[in-house]
Structure 1
Amino acid sequence: MKVEIWSDVMCPWCYIGKRKFEKALEQFPQKERIEVEWKSFQLNPDMETDPNKNIVDYLVEAKGITTDHATQMLDNVTNVAAEVGLDYHMEKAVLANSFDSHRFIQFAKKNRKGDAAEEQLFHAYFTEGKNTADHNTLIDLGVKIGLDAGEVKSVLDSNQFADDVRKDIYEAQQVGARGVPFFVLDRKYAVSGAQQTETFLGALQKSFQEWEKENPAPIQTYAEGDSCTTDGVC
């Protein structure tokens, strides 16, 4: 059964949601029959990459809130992240347009490394304070997950996978995603936001129960012995 997750690299709740969903999946008895696919979403497509501007200043300008309010928001999400084992350093976050990082994820998905790419990008952005729009940063992250540096560079230097990113963003509108993280299970049930592990587990159980009725597990051979076949061989 497929679980699609729409996410953006710069979304702090997406990383938290990833951890909570992973914990639910660990507890799910049929986890080997779950396929997870990460989908692209941009919270701010027009954002200009600016390593010299901190996230507090961005929130003050973009949302029209006070510095104290912005700081309080970041402290809150940092504390929630810590509860699931994540070490956020929002003061180091680099404002970066996420389009190229999504192209990088699409390339990683093609090589069956989509989840690893998401993990590395989240860690780079929220913990290490790296510029996730910088091509050299993305190449280094690609090498970490086993991708070829030359191939990653070739992708980033071109316009490859741009249409894949746009397709995911369009699909997000079709399934009702207005924000991220947004989880869609078997294209039947949606879970919006970084819900509790128990909520994810319940959604997995309900959707899988219905999916399994239409997709029963193949019969596995327990033992083989002497027999006769339809062609008359015994």
Structure 2
Amino acid sequence: MQKKMKVEIWSDVVCPFCYIGKRRFEKALANFSQKNQIEVIYRSFQLNPDIQTDTNKSVEQYLAESKGVTLSKATEMTQYVTDQAALEGLDFQMQNAVVANTFRSHRILQLALTQGKQQAMKERLLEAYFIEGKNIDDMGILSNLSSEVGLTNVEEITKTDTFSDEVKRDILASKQMGIQGVPFFVFNRKYGISGAQETKVFAEAINQSFLEWKEESLQSQEGI
């Protein structure tokens, strides 16, 4: 199997800029002529690992409490990300979003990685949370979403702690690399880009890191 350059993306399922950044990165990658030689892996990160899932609390209420701002300010914040998302063709419905812990979702994504379906699962989870207002901490909902994508052995997540260590390992790696916020894009374990940057920024990073990776690969093959 041909070796590929890795782009690792630390992100959380309830992070609006992670979805926006995903779209911008995807646009850059789609226009890259050597995109078939790039492997994209989503790494686990929790913005708030201690959050308790609460289907009776709005995201605006949660933001107001957690950030110490007024409810109207929190509403302004959600409207801002909604407007930014719209520019990327995403129809956020933040008024329907469910306050939820994302650890189970990350375990599902780790399972999806082993089955070659992580890209589809990541997109489905983001869509479910930001657009459909689904509780992405509910195992019944997660099972249904996983089935849509074609995942198998999802019951392992329900009955055991399978893939919990993988989630924790990603989170530890993010701390070791000094990642404090997401999305965070790491190209070939050399270059990092923080935030939902413009598409052209991602395009430049992909091109530059790929050229260096290609050169390193050639030197390795030649034994230099």
Contact 2:13-2:102 at 8 Å conserved across structures: yes
Query: Which has the higher Rg, Structure 1 or Structure 2?
Result: 1
Residue of structure 1 in register with 2:176 after alignment: 174
CA distance in 1, matches of 2:71, 2:173: 35
TM-score by length of 1: 0.90
2:147 to 143, 150, 155: 143
Alignment of 1:37-186 (within 5 A): 37-148=41-152, 151-186=153-188
Contact 1:8-1:98 at 8 Å conserved across structures: yes
CA distance in 1, matches of 2:217, 2:176: 25
Secondary structure of 2:154's match?
Answer: helix
Secondary structure of 1:84's match?
Answer: coil
- For these two proteins, the number of residue pairs brought into alignment is 215
Residue of structure 2 in register with 1:230 after alignment: none
User: What RMSD over aligned residues (CA atoms) do the two structures have, in Å?
Assistant: 1.1
Identity %: 52
Secondary structure of 1:215's match?
Answer: helix
Residue 157 of structure 2 aligns with an amino acid whose one-letter code is: V
Residue of structure 2 in register with 1:219 after alignment: none
Alignment of 1:3-18 (within 5 A): 3-18=7-22
CA distance in 1, matches of 2:164, 2:100: 17
Please state how far the C-alpha of 1:121 moved relative to its aligned partner.
0.4
Please state how far the C-alpha of 1:173 moved relative to its aligned partner.
1.2
Q: Deviations over 1:76-129 (max 9, x none)?
A: 100100100101000000011000110010001110111111100000000000
Residue 76 of structure 1 aligns with an amino acid whose one-letter code is: Y
Please state how far the C-alpha of 1:157 moved relative to its aligned partner.
2.3
Secondary structure of 1:74's match?
Answer: helix
TM-score by length of 2: 0.94
Q: Structure 1 regions of 5+ residues with no counterpart?
A: 217-234
Moved >3 Å (runs of 4+): none
